[in-house]
Amino acid sequence: MNNTRSYGSFLAGMLLIMLASSARAVDAEAVGSDPAAVCHRDPPASPDASAPPAWVDRVEADLQTGACRSARWLDGLIGPPPDNSVYRTASGSVETAFLWSRYYGTQPRLRFHADLPLPQWDNRVHAFIGRFDRNEVVSEQHQRVGSIPSQFGDLQDEQTLVGLGYSGPPKKTGGWFDSSAGIRVDTPLDPFVKTSYYYVRSVWPASVLTLKESAFWEQREGFGVTSRVDLDHAYRRANDQDDSWFLRSEASATFSQRSLGVRGYGNMTLFHKLSERRAIALQVGFDGQIGAIVPLHDFGAHIIYRHNLSREWLIVEWRSGLDWPREKRTDPRAPSWGGGVGLELLFGGGRPLGGL
């Protein structure tokens, strides 16, 4: 298992290097003459005119340029693109984290994702590549808050995935569909197909209910369905539009051909915006599976603090919590302290995967 994880992290790192290297391939002479040079973006100049741009600005600019050029190349397989500027909307993030818990030990992590527009296919179609927890992306039986993966459970199913997605126009109220299909960038390929229906409705003042029904197929799980319910509530004082306090409740249940029973999670997260650049959250939750040897796998509470680090697209997350995990019937249900720190770099206007 450790060898598999190390190989996966190495592969993810190599893909990131290739993405950034494709941006460096545009030399100074090509800019302004090659249509692909529309993707080229120089990092912002240093306040000191005699000093080069900061390395973190160069990394962000290279990742954005590489994602843009990758989208243009992929979309260009159909034919010459009519408008190159649309590829500038390619976006994503790179995240690294170091986690520790008394029960699971040390767990370093590297994640990334990139969304590539494909306007010649359809304005609502995009390609994606990234390293995720497969159970977050396909069956959605795991949840996540912030850039650090949820510590409710061991992190052993992270994979590099590539595929295509279709997103219907999101609405403030009403319903829409989205779909995706992809494969694992490793062997076995383990392909998957998923389609989801969202329904959003305002239920009370400052409260929004979201229902999501997903049907999926993947080689290892067979056919399955996931039902998810989210309830978001913003706390406001009279005549005050400030949403500095926000409560999100989530519940998810998944059943597949190869599952022992229904499995899922539930949690409540209270967010508080301290400023435009800082936020804190308190989360309580559990996960488990009906019919498993240990039906209640884990429950606990976490506190999360996020803040920008010199750039609005560079985010640091700190996390600490107390869980009561249990993997086997013979394991004692004992408290397990844990903590972690993560760094997330957004490029091209990308949004944090965790949404905090």
Tens place of pLDDT per residue across the chain (356 aa): 444 444 454 455 555 545 545 444 443 334 444 555 677 777 766 565 555 567 888 888 889 888 998 898 888 888 777 677 888 889 999 999 998 999 889 888 888 899 999 988 888 899 999 988 888 888 777 665 555 665 555 555 678 899 999 988 766 778 999 999 999 888 888 899 999 999 999 988 889 999 999 999 998 889 999 999 999 999 876 565 666 899 999 999 999 998 888 998 999 999 999 988 899 999 999 999 998 899 999 999 999 999 998 888 899 999 999 999 998 989 899 999 999 999 999 998 765 544 44
Short-list 109, 106, 113, 75, CA closest to 91: 113
Q: Please, which residues have CB within 8 angstroms of residue 134's CB and are 6 or more apart in sequence?
A: 157, 158, 159, 161, 184
The predicted structure's pLDDT at residue 146: 55
What structural domains and CATH numbers belong to the chain?
A: 2-347 (2.40.160.40)
Tokens standing for residue 142: 């795991």
| 2-24 and 55-75 helices, crossing angle to 10° | 90
Q: How many CA atoms lie within 13 A of 35 on its CB side?
A: 11
Phi, psi for 161 (deg, rounded to 5): -120, 145
- Smallest CA-to-CA distance from 92 within 117, 110, 67, 69 is with 67
User: Would you call 64 helix, strand, or coil by DSSP?
Assistant: helix
Q: Which of 221, 230, 211, 210 is nearest to 134 (CA)?
A: 221
Looking at residue 191, the DSSP 8-state letter turns out to be -
The residues, any chain, with a CB within 8 Å of residue 17's CB and separated by 6 or more, are none
Residue 33 CA neighbour count, 13 Å, CB half = 5
* Cα dist from 222 to 111, 155, 185, 190, 291, whole Å: 26, 22, 19, 11, 18
